[in-house]
């Protein structure tokens, strides 16, 4: 495979600059998000990931995708491990080649490792999806949720009703000038005995 997934050590790591550049190209230049809200304080404590592609002809590695994950404090969910996934971006010319899927797989592996580290029976991956990306996350098992404080339905295995078009509209909110919905997935982590 010509792709490598890299865990960026911190915001001070020079690789973070590559993640930042992808985000500026995708969210600021392409989607019109304000630069000051794109690069926020969360970057200092989030875990950043970078995917690079090895261009064999030129013998160089090209940064092609990024995302970040960080612990999400939810007062109503005390005791539960909730990680928020965000800033998922694949550069335009590399989309629809499975990199979005790859990043969600990496996010789950990371979430499982955090669940074991914190000795929790499972972990919620929570995110704000742009409304037109809902189908992408839904493909990988994410459900629309009303709020981050009500994730229990997912872990209890209770069926959360898929909102119809009208219901969905009522759950939408604007963030950075773009319509979003809240989505989440529960990943149970049973230790091997």
Ligand X SMILES: CC(C)(COP(=O)(O)OP(=O)(O)OC[C@H]1O[C@@H](n2cnc3c(N)ncnc32)[C@H](O)[C@@H]1OP(=O)(O)O)[C@@H](O)C(=O)NCCC(=O)NCCS
Residues within the interface to ligand X (CB under 6 A): 26, 88-90, 95-101, 129-130, 132-133, 135-136, 139
Of the pair 70, 136, the CB lying nearest ligand X is at 136
Pick from 2, 1, 3, 8: which is nearest to 110 by CA? 8
Question: Cβ–Cβ contacts within 10 Å for residue 131, how many?
Answer: 16
Strand stretches in 95-172, DSSP E: 122-130, 143-144
Between 115 and 183, whose beta carbon lies closer to ligand X?
A: 183
Min dist CB 119 to ligand X, Å, is 30
Identity of the residue, 105 or 161, whose beta carbon is nearer to ligand X in the bound complex: 105
Residue nearest to ligand X (CB): 100
164 vs 157: CA distance, rounded Å: 20
CB 12 to ligand X: min, Å = 25
CB of 21 to ligand X, least distance (A): 14
Q: Which residue, 15 or 100, has its beta carbon nearer to ligand X?
A: 100
Phi, psi of 92, rounded to the nearest 5 degrees: -50, -45
Question: Nearest distance from residue 156's CB to ligand X, in Å?
Answer: 26
CA distance 5 to 53: 9
């Amino acid at each position: 495979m010509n792709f490598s997934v890299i865990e960026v050590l911190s915001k001070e790591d020079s690789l973070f600059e590559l993640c930042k550049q992808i985000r500026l190209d995708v969210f600021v230049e392409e989607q019109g998000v304000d630069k000051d809200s794109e690069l926020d304080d969360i970057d200092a404590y989030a875990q950043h990931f970078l995917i690079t592609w090895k261009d064999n002809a030129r013998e160089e590695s090209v940064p092609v995708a990024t995302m970040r994950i960080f612990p999400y404090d939810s007062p109503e969910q005390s005791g539960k491990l909730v990680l928020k996934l965000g800033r998922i971006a694949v550069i335009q010319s590399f989309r629809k080649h499975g990199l979005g899927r790859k990043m969600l797989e990496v996010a789950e592996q990371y979430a499982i490792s955090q669940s074991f580290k914190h000795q929790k029976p499972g972990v919620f991956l929570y995110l704000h999806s742009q409304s037109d990306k809902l189908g992408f996350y839904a493909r990988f098992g994410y459900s629309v949720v009303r709020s981050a404080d009500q994730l229990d339905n997912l872990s209890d295995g209770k069926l959360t009703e898929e909102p119809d078009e009208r219901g969905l509209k009522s759950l939408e909110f604007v963030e950075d000038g773009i319509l979003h919905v809240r989505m989440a997935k529960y990943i149970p982590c049973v230790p091997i005995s």
